[in-house]
Amino acid sequence: MTIFRFGYVAMSKHVKNSSPSQTMTYKNFIQHTNREAAVRKLELLANTNIENCIRLLKHNKAFDISLFRLSSKLIPLATHEELAGWNYIENTKEKLRQLGDFATENDMRIGFHPDHFVVLNSTKTDIVKSSVKNLKYHFDLLTAMNINPIHRCVLHVGGSYGNKPEALERFIENWGRVSKRIQQMIILENDDKTFHVEDVLFLCEKLSIPLVFDIHHHLANHEQSDWMVYWDRIVHTWKDSNVPIKIHLSSPKNEKQFRHHADYIEPELFLDFAKKVNGSVEQVDCMIEAKQKDDALFQLMRNLKENKDVDWINNGTIRLH
């Protein structure tokens, strides 16, 4: 039977004053008359963000949550062009290593999902270069944590720019300009407007990239409504990975705002998925993308406790009969 682990994204509704995304705008940065003092403040914010991440991982450990998405905003202004000479790792590496060590010692899967402006299939060379720079930032963070970067970074394909077939081919062309170590970090996700599962499978199978299946996005954007026709192919994209298959789990806010994430997860949505894939793979890691973060995870666990088909491995991991 398949094991299902659950996690959530970046921030907690239960741990107070634990934001991992405290920041400083560049406008505020340049208002400091002393640049070195401004950089030290950035490093102080970064270390506080990392410390808060460690607090969140300790919270997760207490509730047997072993899957967590880190905030991409851990180090403010790290990729800003005006701070190009700043070695942001040097004065944060100690805290980053503590974060990575805690995750490793407690068998926690951590990773990133860079912001929407990271677009590898852009028609503009400067945007592609900026995207690669941003991906290197994530690579450097994972390396400083002593976390194997392979398959730790979820990306969307990008935009269609009025011609989806050309946009897919441009992703392949630009992919060849990305270093091997950055390539190995990336896993691709189907999106809710443009690139559905069939499109993303085309890229994943051609370029040997694992596919992160987003159930909610599939409901909003699909060529074939029955996603099970793709499941074997999705599983196959993970055949060479050293981490389990990952999916994204969220519910539509309502019919009118179908693409928006709801506060919580409809248990029937998960159970329908779980019953269909049960036994097909050893493990599936389910990243909950809900507005209420860890509270949505806790609510889903309470709902699942009412189901007689669920066996509990611990408070954050189940299997079905």
Domain encompassing residue 216: 3-320
17, 7 contact by CB (below 8 A): no
71-99 mean pLDDT: 94
Query: Is the model's pLDDT at 33 over the cut of 80?
Result: no
40-63 mean pLDDT: 97
Percentage, residues of the chain above pLDDT 90: 92
Question: What local confidence, expressed as pLDDT, does residue 149 receive?
Answer: 98
- pLDDT band with cut points at 50, 70 and 90 for residue 106: very high
d(CA 287, CA 212): 10
| Closest-CA residue to 145 (of 98, 181, 210, 189) | 98
Query: Is the model's pLDDT at 90 over the cut of 80?
Result: yes
Question: What local confidence, expressed as pLDDT, does residue 23 receive?
Answer: 87
* Chain segment 130-160, per-residue pLDDT in tens: 999 999 999 999 999 999 999 999 999 999 9
Question: What local confidence, expressed as pLDDT, does residue 26 receive?
Answer: 81
* Exposed/middle/buried for residue 153 (C-beta within 10 Å: 0-12, 13-18, 19+): buried
307-320 mean pLDDT: 97
The terminus-to-terminus CA distance of the chain in angstroms comes to 7
* Residue 166, domain CATH: 3.20.20.150
* Chain segment 284-304, per-residue pLDDT in tens: 999 999 999 999 999 999 999
Question: What local confidence, expressed as pLDDT, does residue 234 receive?
Answer: 98
Query: Is the model's pLDDT at 30 over the cut of 80?
Result: no
Q: How far is CA 194 from the centre of its chain?
A: 19
d(CA 15, CA 294): 10
Structural domain count, the chain:
1
* Chain segment 172-230, per-residue pLDDT in tens: 999 999 999 999 999 999 999 999 999 999 999 999 999 999 999 999 999 999 999 99
Question: What local confidence, expressed as pLDDT, does residue 257 receive?
Answer: 96
Question: What local confidence, expressed as pLDDT, does residue 54 receive?
Answer: 98
